[in-house]
Structure 1
Amino acid sequence: MRAGRGSGSPSGGRAGRPRGRAADLRARLLRLRNTVERRFPVITRLTSHLIAVNLLDSATRLAAQAFLTAVPLLFLVASFAPQDVRNQIVTSLQDVLGIEGSADQQLKLVMQADPASLRQSTGVVSGLMVLLSATAVSRAMQRLCQRAWRLPSAGARVAAWRWPVWIAVWLAVFVLQGPLRNGFGVGLWLGLPLLLATEVGIWWWTQHLLLAARVPWLPLLPGALLTGVAVTVLTVIAKLYVPAALNHSLDRYGSLGAVFTLLSWLIGLCVVVALGITAGAVIAREPAVSRRLGSPDRPNSPEF
């Protein structure tokens, strides 16, 4: 009997040690989480809010809608826009994505094609359908902003005219990307501040427009700053990755490879946008910030 107890006791102790260590680790993690929640409540609220917004799903949908909007619009602009505008779009794409080589040749084939033949293949009815379908990306962006601020959907009468306006302004801003980055001929030292100011301003205005002015201007500023800075950095470093990846995909896989590369880059860009707008909404509703900006009260439950 003594031998049985003696032989069982060490094995029982060895078996109990991992369980004891796991329980000790779990207790330490719980204490760490409680400490973080107590000292940095904004991190906890941001994490829970990102889960509620469903960040990756929202960003993927937005990227898909943006891609499906950009390609038909590219052909539409090539069909009806003056040659100077088409040349400026080529320059802007080269500046934004660093397009060169095979990708640059494919782009110029579209933008420098005969407008008359493109108009015949496009047609007025097709052009109108492209413009109407382009509002899908506006609606996707509007849903993202509403989720970030936990607001119900705006009525169709209030929101409908805002969708094509948003598309038109963004198209104009994109055409001007080349001159902006070059500082309108002055140089990069002026171009980067101009680009940053434009990005912050456009994302500030985007939230106000698509939220149907239900949130005052000042509370929207943190989201505009975060998104503007992040998008500026991402588009500046895009030249380090996109050109080589795009040309490699085109040479090896053809057009399908280019689609995959551009869509991957768009998803990354939209994740940054979704994160910036959502984080800005959370920060703007923090008590210390909310008192200064006059932010609306935080709802008790999300309304999507």
Structure 2
Amino acid sequence: MRSAHRRARAGRRWVHVRNVDLWQRSLGFAALGFLTLVPLLIVVSAADTRGGQGFAQWLADGLGVSPAARAEIERLFALPGQAWRTTTAFGLALLAVFGLSFGTMLQSGYERVWDLPPARWWARWRHVLWLGALVGVLFLSAIAPPWRESPARGFVTVAIGTLFFWWSQRLLLGGRVMWTALLPGAVATMLGLLGLRIFSRLVFSPLIASSAVTYGPFGTVLVIQTWLVGIGVVVFGGALLGRLLHDELLHRAPPVEPGQ
């Protein structure tokens, strides 16, 4: 009887994992992220008084690449400082629209993870608040010294990242899931991002150098796009793992707060 119960629980877990459609959501995350996050971070980092060199630094530091691959990334984004001077109001508005769409996509993934219905249309203000917080986090990350120059930054980044993903889930889900239930997903997401950074150092770093020789700048873009797919897997997969840990390991039902 107990064995049959475990098999039934395992079957429910598998159905839930399959229903999240992790791979397709990660591809959408990468596509919209490249359309939104890359231009947004270029514009935001261009406001840095040091000349707007923060984007290439942030991207190379996030990938954890070697000096050769870092040089290719800096060559690809050689003139980011011009973005702030040449960006129009229409361009900024378009980036904001795409940014809000990115928040909608992330919210949809979190709702699928927690088996929640879509939020009402008037809750879209949460996307505006989330986008503003994302811009602030990206700006601070872009202008901060690299990890190799400030080891203490790694601990601060992990702490801020965990808090950001913890708060993001709570905000985008409209408070329908308790804070304690969301913490495992935030921790799993940050641990996954650290693991992805190590993987990037071992795999993506030589790929950037070789692809730049074979395909030119387009090869570097392909590797960056693949890295964004990996981030999508980590973001949604971390939230999904947090849900499974909370429900299965702690033997608790999904803590959905009624009436919200």
TM-score tier, shorter chain, comes to: 0.7 to 0.9
Instruction: Supply the distance in 2 between the matched residues of 1:259 and 1:123 (Cα, whole angstroms).
Output: 25
Query: Which of 218, 236, 239 is residue 274 of structure 1 equivalent to?
Result: 236
Change (3 A) 1:196 1:295: same
Q: Which amino acid aligns with 2:115?
A: R
1:177 CA drift (Å)? 3.2
Change (3 A) 1:244 1:176: farther
Are residues 1:165 and 2:129 paired? yes
1:277 CA drift (Å)? 0.6
Query: Which of 221, 224, 227 is residue 183 of structure 2 equivalent to?
Result: 221
1:153 CA drift (Å)? 0.6
Alignment partner, residue 253 of structure 1: 215
Are residues 1:83 and 2:53 paired? no
For structure 1, the 5+ residue unaligned runs are: 1-33, 298-304
Answer whether contact 2:169 2:182 (CA < 8 A) is retained.
Answer: yes
Query: Which of 128, 140, 149 is residue 176 of structure 1 equivalent to?
Result: 140
Alignment partner, residue 22 of structure 1: none
Which is further off, 267-276 or 142-151?
A: 267-276
Q: Which amino acid aligns with 1:112?
A: G
Alignment partner, residue 25 of structure 1: none
Matched-pair identity in %:
25
1:85 CA drift (Å)? 7.4
Instruction: Supply the distance in 2 between the matched residues of 1:57 and 1:155 (Cα, whole angstroms).
Output: 24
Answer whether contact 2:45 2:54 (CA < 8 A) is retained.
Answer: no
Alignment partner, residue 110 of structure 1: 79
Answer whether contact 1:222 1:281 (CA < 8 A) is retained.
Answer: yes
Alignment partner, residue 24 of structure 2: 57
Answer whether contact 2:48 2:54 (CA < 8 A) is retained.
Answer: no
Alignment partner, residue 120 of structure 2: 155
Answer whether contact 2:181 2:243 (CA < 8 A) is retained.
Answer: yes
Change (3 A) 1:181 1:259: closer
Alignment partner, residue 145 of structure 1: 110
Answer whether contact 2:185 2:240 (CA < 8 A) is retained.
Answer: yes
RMSD: 2.9
Please list the CA deviations of residues 65-110 of structure 1 after superposition, one character each: whole Å capped at 9, or x if unmatched: 111112332453366x243372333332231123512221222x23
Please list the CA deviations of residues 178-200 of structure 1 after superposition, one character each: whole Å capped at 9, or x if unmatched: 647649x6x42x33332322222
Higher relative CO (Cα under 8 Å, sequence separation at least 6) belongs to 2
Q: Which amino acid aligns with 1:290?
A: R
Larger Rg: 1
1:149 CA drift (Å)? 0.4
Answer whether contact 1:53 1:147 (CA < 8 A) is retained.
Answer: yes
Are residues 1:127 and 2:92 paired? yes
Alignment partner, residue 230 of structure 1: 192
Change (3 A) 1:180 1:233: farther
Change (3 A) 1:180 1:146: farther
- The number of aligned residues is 251
Instruction: Supply the distance in 1 between the matched residues of 2:45 and 2:250 (Cα, whole angstroms).
Output: 50
Alignment partner, residue 8 of structure 1: none
Change (3 A) 1:114 1:258: closer
Change (3 A) 1:235 1:52: same
Q: Which amino acid aligns with 1:267?
A: V
Q: Which amino acid aligns with 2:179?
A: W
Alignment partner, residue 100 of structure 1: 70
Alignment partner, residue 296 of structure 1: 256
Change (3 A) 1:114 1:151: closer
Change (3 A) 1:174 1:130: closer
For structure 2, the 5+ residue unaligned runs are: none
Change (3 A) 1:126 1:112: closer
Answer whether contact 1:148 1:278 (CA < 8 A) is retained.
Answer: yes
1:7-46 matched pairs, under 5 angstroms: 35=3, 38-39=5-6, 43-46=10-13
